[in-house]
Copies of this chain bind each other. A is one copy, B any other.
Amino acid sequence: MTIKEIAKLAGVSTSTVSRVLNDSGYVKHDVRKRVEKIIDDTGYLPSDTAKDLKKKNTKLIGIIIPKLSSKTIGLVADGITKVLDENGYSSLLAKTGLDFEREMEFIKIFKQKRVDGIIFVATQISEEHVNLLKKMKIPTVFIGQDAGRYNFSCVVHNDYGATKEMTNYLVKKGHKKIGFIGVDEIDVAVGYERKRGYIDALCESEIEIDEELITMGNFEISSVDLSMKNLMEKTPTAILAVTDNLAIGVINYLLKNGYRVPEDVSVVGEGDSGIAEIYNPRLTTIRYQYLESGEEAGRVLMRILDTGKIEKKIMNYKLVERESVIKL
């Protein structure tokens, strides 16, 4: 079914059909009715493919994301698509598994599809990404990592501030030997910024930094066991894990080895990933605004498309007190 066939069936020209389709220009009432009826009967829907060729924009936004099977990322994605939907944009999805090559490839695919913009949920931003994006001239906003130094828009969480506040909270509860479980600093937000928050908080409280109290996992629960073994030899009274998953791993290790939480060791996480609320004990953690960051990124992109102005947004966080910390 094409506009031409509709025109023929209605005994009018294609321009008239186009006019009723887009509600533009004048069409006599009964002609409009007649055309509308035929469109209805045939179930004809105009091809965006053809339309996009004429117009400059596709109303398509590319979303680059590591994976979907994560509550956190899912929330971000829900936020993004919500705003895009509201603004009449469709979402082209690219799942990269954090594979650099695939990320680069998807940017090119998006260019071929002539997306109007890209939202990039990133854990690392490289010079190459940025250069390709600039060469392609695709308006882009990053979520989760600061792209300001590359002169790109971004929506970031206050990883530094949140972790600093959490550390201060632990200090206020009387803890001085606070273990830290972080992740690779290649992930600037979660690895580097959160660690910096922990360290600065201790400095400001004039607690000496003990390098042996600082360990690293990856994002998997099982990855903490080794770290914990070494960590516990230093007898910390509290442990700050940089994600809830890691914190759950810590608690499981502790419980398995005869420690009580929080009576023997206090444990906190970050992320408020849903599990924190129903875990046993309920986990004190940082609630970041994932859904909202997705929405915000959507809005920022809409504005870029409108005005071209780049923006950097820092999202709020909230320390959620529950049952996994004890006052010394």
Contact = CB atoms under 8 A, between A and B. Distances in A.
A71 interface: yes
A50 B71 CA distance: 37
Given A278-B252, A291-B69, A114 B47 contact: yes
Interface in A87-146: 90-95, 108-109, 111-114, 135-136
A64 to B, nearest CB: 12
A45 interface: yes
A272 to B, nearest CB: 13
A97 to B, nearest CB: 9
A75 B69 CA distance: 5
A165 to B, nearest CB: 25
A43 interface: yes
A309 interface: no
Interface residues of A, number: 47
Nearest to A63: B93
A74 interface: yes
**A49, A111, A275 interface centre (most CB from chain B within 10 Å):** A49
A19 B279 CA distance: 60
A69 B69 contact: no
Interface in A274-291: 275, 278-280, 291
Contacts of A94: 90-91
Interface string A53-86: 1000010000100011111011101100110010
Given A68-B74, A71-B71, A50 B53 contact: yes
A135 B43 contact: yes
A38 interface: no
A67 B79 CA distance: 10
Contacts of A248: 278
Nearest to A55: B49
A302 B157 CA distance: 40
A74 B67 contact: yes
B93 A81 contact: yes
Contacts of A279: 278-280
16 contacts: A43-B136, A45-B108, A47-B53, A48-B113, A49-B49, A49-B53, A67-B78, A68-B74, A68-B78, A69-B77, A70-B71, A90-B113, A91-B92, A92-B93, A255-B280, A279-B279
